[in-house]
Amino acid sequence: MYKHLMAAAATMTLVACGGGDKPAAQPATDTTAAAPAAAPAGGGHTVTMEFDGTNYKFVPHDLTINSGDQVIFKSVSGSPHNVQFFADSIPPAAIPAMVAAMTAAGDKLDSLSGPLKMDGEDYAVTFAGAVAGTYKLTCTPHQAMGMNMVITVK
Ligand SMILES: [Cu+2]
């Protein structure tokens, strides 16, 4: 019985110390965190940008989406990475839509290239108005190392 009391007292002391040492962080009261900033109209997909010790890669390498879906590219290792489409590797009719999508997503290197992202950073591209077809893309810094993928809009 005494041991139980001591354990309980120790636990309470730790809790009390923990609460007193840190500023009170109350995520539950942060109402802005609950509301997504910009919910995509279509479905959402996540592609990670990685270096596995041998290869630089997008995971998955092949992804099929619907027009209007959003793809979030997450840099997880081996950064910097980016997303670059080539005008001759996407449907010609999709070029205006993809230039607009890359512009809407923020700074870019050129009309079909997104900004460099460090590990832990995301880059979201919404395929609004994207016509059906295959969209080949690469990562500019690791293009020579074969870091590429194919998104199929159905
Ligand atoms: Cu890369």
Q: List the chain domain ranges.
A: 2-31, 38-153
Dist CA 122 CA 52 (whole Å) = 18
Token pair in block for residue 147: 């870091």
CA triple 105-130-111, angle to 5 deg: 45
Task: Compute, in angstroms, the gap from residue 154 CA to the centroid of ligand 1.
Answer: 26
Q: What is the pLDDT of residue 41?
A: 59
Q: What is the pLDDT of residue 111?
A: 82
**pLDDT tens readout for residues 80-117:** 999 999 999 999 999 999 999 988 877 776 789 999 99
pLDDT bracket for residue 134 (50, 70, 90): very high
24 DSSP 8-state letter: -
Nearest C-alpha neighbor of 57 from the set 35, 74, 32: 74
Task: Compute, in angstroms, the gap from residue 142 CA to the centroid of ligand 1.
Answer: 5
CATH fold group of domain 38-153? Immunoglobulin-like (2.60.40)
**pLDDT tens readout for residues 18-47:** 444 444 444 444 444 444 445 455 789 999
